[in-house]
Amino acid sequence: MMVAMQDAIYEEVNEMPAPDRLIVRYRGIRKSFSDFEVLKGLDLDIKQGEKITIIGPSGSGKTTIIRMLMTLEEPTSGTIIVDGEPLWHQEVKGELIIASEKHLRKVRGKIGMVFQQYNLFPHMTILKNVTEAPVHVLGMPKQEAKERALAMLEKVGLKDQVHKYPIQLSGGQQQRVAIARALVMEPKVMLFDEVTSALDPELVGEVLNVIKDIAHTTNMTMILVTHEMDFAREISDRVVFIDKGKVVEQGPPEQVLENPKTERLNTFLKRFR
């Protein structure tokens, strides 16, 4: 049953012509915490290589949307497809189907995430923080992992800090290490969850600049949750406004951020003007 259904969904997703190929599809996603329904039938399609920014009021479910992709939260119902493979479970003719842990691990391998809190390993050097997963999760030879880690640390502007420990770096530098640590796994999709909200204001710019550079120089799919509207305007192909558990408006940044169609989005954006 599981196999047959996966194949059917796989074919459906792959019907998309190559440049428009979907990498992520959310369909009818509902999510409740106890009796509070955060997501109320969310539909969202993301194309390969697209840079998407999710905006919306605090508590509207933005973080939950991306945590579900990382399999850190499980939807109450609905379907999520990542790179042609179903994630979590779907209801088929009323039947609940749960993917195996092995399957989830495989899909999870395609996703990288950077959190608000950078959560580096405090007892490891910066270099070790970045080589740890390639060596221990991917089984990459140490030398190769080191070379790749150094290249990533150079990309985020920290090549001269690699032998230090996290505590010796500023918050902005630590967050850039967290970005390098996610990038080194070469995920197909990178998730950024309000990655500057725990930083002192003077450190925000350096982190946003690193993300901008990645957005402008790679064709990696990126999904960002942010309250930085200028940043969203600069890097996004599409801005998605979420409110009360659903997509309310979406489109190119100039349309969504400059010409909101709904009163809800207009009211939300006023806070940033």
Binding part of the chain for ligand ADP, among 21-29, 52-60, 139-147, 208-216 by CB under 6 A, reads 52-60
- Residue 78 within binding range of ligand ADP, rule CB under 6 A: no
**DSSP character for 19?**
G
Query: Nearest distance from residue 28's CB to ligand ADP, in Å?
Result: 18
Binding part of the chain for ligand ADP, among 40-48, 62-70, 169-177, 197-205 by CB under 6 A, reads 62-70
Q: Is the dihedral of CA 97, 103, 105, 111 positive or negative?
A: negative
Residue among 1, 4, 35, 58 that touches ligand ADP (CB under 6 A): 58
CB closer to ligand ADP, 66 vs 180: 66
Show the CA angle centred on residue 181, arms to residues 39 and 151, nearest 5°.
135
Residues 86-105 that bind ligand ADP (CB under 6 A): none
Annotate each residue in 159-178 with x if it binds ligand ADP (CB under 6 A) or - if it does not, as one string. Answer: --------------------
Number of Cα atoms under 13 Å in the Cβ half of residue 30: 11
Residue among 48, 63, 131, 175 that touches ligand ADP (CB under 6 A): 63
CB closer to ligand ADP, 116 vs 125: 116
Residue among 13, 22, 56, 145 that touches ligand ADP (CB under 6 A): 56
CB closer to ligand ADP, 60 vs 196: 60
Number of Cα atoms under 13 Å in the Cβ half of residue 238: 18
- Residue 61 within binding range of ligand ADP, rule CB under 6 A: yes
Q: Is 157 exposed, middle or buried (0-12, 13-18, 19+ CB in 10 A)?
A: middle
- Residue 71 within binding range of ligand ADP, rule CB under 6 A: no
Tokens of 263: 């009163």
Give the contacts of 44 (CB within 8 A, at least 6 positions apart).
24, 25, 26, 65, 240, 247
Strand ranges of the sheet holding 77-82, from the earlier edge strand across to the other edge: 36-47, 22-33, 77-82, 85-87
How many residues belong to the site for ligand ADP (CB under 6 A)?
10
Residue among 13, 38, 111, 214 that touches ligand ADP (CB under 6 A): 38
- Residue 226 within binding range of ligand ADP, rule CB under 6 A: no
Amino acid letter, residue 9: I
Query: Nearest distance from residue 62's CB to ligand ADP, in Å?
Result: 4
Where in the chain does DSSP place strands (E)?
22-33, 36-47, 51-55, 77-82, 85-87, 90-92, 95-97, 111-114, 189-193, 221-225, 238-243, 246-251
Binding site for ligand ADP (CB under 6 A): 33, 38, 56, 58-64
